[in-house]
Structure 1
């Protein structure tokens, strides 16, 4: 496999690791609450990222790239927008409209493509644009419950959902921008260096935030350190693969292929939760697979 296609298995590995992380975080929510479970991906993921950077440096004998001002700007932008995106997602889901929020959040690949074109100059051909739209429509179709309209839950979930998707998109663009702004190093070294800085920044922000405003959740996450380590490891593993993907191709390609995570989650629900797949969900799956297939066919 040539390097130009390496992003495909890397992105699939990221989606699989993220599915596992989400399942672990879901279990943690029951014991330490939503905010506590959310921040463990950063707090407990950071040490694993540092270990990964050490392993890359030792294995390949590369020096760690020196950050520049543009790199630090992109890292800070990516780190803060990802936190904001998560906060907006949680706020929207408090409106008791999970399916609607998910549908609007999954407009992220479309927004990633637009932001990538505007901010980084990432190419966007008509074929790739069509692939992104088809796959995104598939996710929206799968996310909607039968009989529920996209506007049936009011305006707030719509605004929060789209805004959350926008901030997740900006986070992806910020992290890709940071990787590209490093002047030296292989794609693996630049991706891992960026991951360490990103998780370190997010850990610092959240420690200060929770220390001042929600010490109960912070202390609960410390007490539940054993299961939190698992969530942190899977979170760091997923992020490592995402960042490698961002180093190899456009964020739009990575985040569109990443929609297969929805299919993985559906498979987990069907296998372990005995949930029946509806015709609407099957139609959505066909669109996702069609969009992803078209995206891969557009690669040269």
Structure 2
């Protein structure tokens, strides 16, 4: 019985670690910029991913899974989408509160199902249509002029929704990469895919920074203590996400991940002393209700 819900345990654990990582990246954005703070999770997360893979190999006895062409293509697509999604999320956090920016990204489950309608030509049920309208109404209420920092609301909404769309794409691609793995162990398959993803992200962004923005790379290394912690939390969150994707569909995983909003509420109050307005609270409630309706109907 417990094994059937193991993916849920992984998901909630990932959401908790991701909330703390996002909080650290938000603070690093002020000194490193959006690209620099985004790169921290990849560059400093990669060594920890290697450690996680080594532990998985020793624990299961299965060798690391080398990706074939299909697995590499899925993983590379997910890695690229995740990088841009993270950058957009941090940009949204600079314009709105930590909690509201997190809530924007939590439209991701809605977008996953919308992609299914467009790409797979699936006919939406009345419940699905109602859920999309409710969740969209919540997003509009959070970004409506007149709430906190209204002048930047629409731009923050665009960044947040763009981030959600790309996170949705990366989740689907990562699950495809894990499923394409030849490893008999889901733990090793997930861990191997994570190592490949972080290797691609760390190498690509480091090369770009060396060519175009060496000062940013130097600043990242100068903040290595904070960066190391953010990297560890990022790798830990990703490890749990990948384990969940290995056991369950991306839509179910990312829907349960809405618990991150509750974690973000606590972080927003305790670390950043940011208060949620009444309109924002109602919007978040509508957003959560819409996605919960989707979960109930699937």
For the aligned pair, the TM-score class normalised by the smaller chain equals 0.7 to 0.9
- Aligned positions of 1:34-53 closer than 5 A: 34-53=34-53
User: Counterpart of 1:58?
Assistant: 58
Q: Is the 8 A contact 2:88 2:159 kept in 1?
A: yes
Q: Offset at 1:284?
A: 3.9
Q: CA distance change for structure 1 residues 128 and 154 in 2, over 3 Å: closer, same or farther?
A: closer
Q: Could you tell which deviates more after superposition, 26-35 or 209-218?
A: 26-35
Q: Offset at 1:15?
A: 0.8
Q: Structure 1 unaligned runs (5+)?
A: none
Q: Could you tell which deviates more after superposition, 83-92 or 244-253?
A: 83-92
Q: Count residues with an aligned counterpart.
A: 295
Q: Structure 2 unaligned runs (5+)?
A: none
Q: Is the 8 A contact 1:103 1:144 kept in 2?
A: no
Measure, in 1, the Cα distance between the counterparts of 2:84 and 2:25: 18
Give TM-score scaled by structure 1 length: 0.82
Q: Deviations over 1:210-269 (max 9, x none)?
A: 111111110111121112110000000000111111111111111122122122111222
User: Counterpart of 1:226?
Assistant: 225
Measure, in 1, the Cα distance between the counterparts of 2:244 and 2:202: 23
User: Counterpart of 2:191?
Assistant: 192
User: Counterpart of 2:5?
Assistant: 5
User: Counterpart of 1:79?
Assistant: 79
Q: CA distance change for structure 1 residues 128 and 178 in 2, over 3 Å: closer, same or farther?
A: farther
Q: Is the 8 A contact 1:17 1:238 kept in 2?
A: yes
Give TM-score scaled by structure 2 length: 0.82
Q: CA distance change for structure 1 residues 273 and 209 in 2, over 3 Å: closer, same or farther?
A: closer
- Aligned positions of 1:82-101 closer than 5 A: 82-89=82-89, 96=95
User: Counterpart of 2:252?
Assistant: 253
Q: Is the 8 A contact 2:10 2:243 kept in 1?
A: yes
Measure, in 2, the Cα distance between the counterparts of 1:2 and 1:69: 35
User: Counterpart of 2:25?
Assistant: 25
Q: Deviations over 1:116-150 (max 9, x none)?
A: 6777x8x998598479648844862674367259x
Q: Deviations over 1:65-94 (max 9, x none)?
A: 231111000011011111222344556677
Look up the SS of the partner of 2:64 in the other structure. coil
Q: Offset at 1:57?
A: 0.5
Q: Offset at 1:98?
A: 6.9
Look up the SS of the partner of 2:54 in the other structure. helix
Q: Is the 8 A contact 1:253 1:295 kept in 2?
A: no
User: Counterpart of 2:234?
Assistant: 235
